[in-house]
Amino acid sequence: MDYKLIWADYFNQDQIDTSIWQIDEVGGTSGNNEAQYYSQKNAFIKDQMLHIVARKEHVKGFDYTSAKLTTKNKKSILYGKVEVLAMVPKGLGTWPAIWLLGESIKTDGWPLCGEIDMMEHVGHTPNEIHMSLHTMAKNHKKNNHETKFLKIPDATTTFKKYSMVWDHQSISFYIDDVHIVTFNKPLNATKENWPYDQPFYLIINLAIGGWWGGKIDDNIFPVTFKIKHVKIYERSE
């Protein structure tokens, strides 16, 4: 299958490109009981990389700060390939993620809008990478979501290429071009069990604590989630 690059960010400029990224300024989002306040000052470009830095500091009622970037209202993705070259941080309480939400979240809410988790990592299970789908029919709150995890021994010390290939019939995940898992569209597909035939937007964030992030080790801060590039491709027929 051939793919054509439609946009990319190599983070080789001085400032974060706001034509691509919205940098959130908000506390404890996602309903996951997270401990961080997302601040724009915690995301910056240095050494030709995007740095998302979490710090131990008290801001607006939160004991930690971090950053969350999204392409919401700027760049939408529908089918094709998404590739992110990243190195996850190490330490108890860290919860970095590369994920997507359906643009219908504005009207449908979560989980009817659908969620695609290309990469999630939590500090209390070092070097374990998770890839998941969440729908109205199957999601983590029902504990029945489609998910796969595996050990990547050097995930916190080297850059890994996390990729997703998405078409009308399936969503597949790869790490360093090695196929990990494919989730297929059900035969009786509905919006409730396959909301993946609509545009999604990309999210890159570093959460702290929360229901899954768990206990936080205050000795790790500051800690950084590093991203070298983001590439979005469409299929060229």
Is 120 marked active-site? Answer: yes
Tell me the backbone φ, ψ of residue 230, rounded to 5 degrees. Answer: -130, 130
d(CA 107, CA 98): 23
Structure tokens belonging to residue 66: 């971090």
Task: Pick the closest to residue 84 from 206, 203, 181, 228 (CA basis).
Answer: 228
Active site residue 25: no
Of 207, 12, 219, 199, nearest to 98 by C-alpha is: 207
Catalytic residue among 25, 103, 120, 234: 120
Q: Which of 83, 115, 128, 234 is catalytic?
A: 115
How many residues can be counted in the chain?
Answer: 237
Is the CB of residue 163 less than 8 Å from the CB of residue 173?
yes
Active site residues: 115, 120
